[in-house]
Amino acid sequence: MPRKIKIYSLAIKDVENGIDYYQLQQNGLGKKFEKQVNDTFKKIQKFPLAASIAYENVRYHVLDRFPYIILYQVDDKYIYILRIFNTHQEALYLR
């Protein structure tokens, strides 16, 4: 049985900000970003341990078409989505 995904509130805000940003850049691009994030969630759910380890027990998965990565942790029952951020942001922003 696949692990359930739990998304932290900061990660939800990250996605909302990304959608808003890309929608302002081009009509419809925000929806494409949202779909890419959701598709990546499905990949993570299917193979949660396949991604590289960022630090300690935090893994990361890079989106295919946008400069974003998803940081997450895995336990026996859940995948916890911690943050979804633009790779051009400073690392200090994540702490």
Q: What is the DSSP string of 43-88?
A: HHHHSTTSSEEEETTEEEEE-SSSSEEEEEEE-SSEEEEEEEEETT
Q: What is the pLDDT of residue 91?
A: 55
Q: What would the pLDDT profile of 42-57 be if each residue is shown by its tens digit?
A: 999 999 999 999 889 9
> CA-to-CA distance for 75 and 60, rounded, in angstroms?
15
Measured distance between the N- and C-terminal CA atoms of the chain, rounded to whole angstroms = 32
Q: Residues 25-40: what's their mean pLDDT?
A: 97
pTM exceeding the 0.75 threshold for the entire prediction:
yes
Domain annotation for the chain: domains and CATH numbers: 4-94 (3.30.2310.20)
Q: How far apart are the C-alpha atoms of 50 and 73, rounded to whole Å?
A: 12
The answer to whether residue 95 scores a pLDDT higher than 60 is no
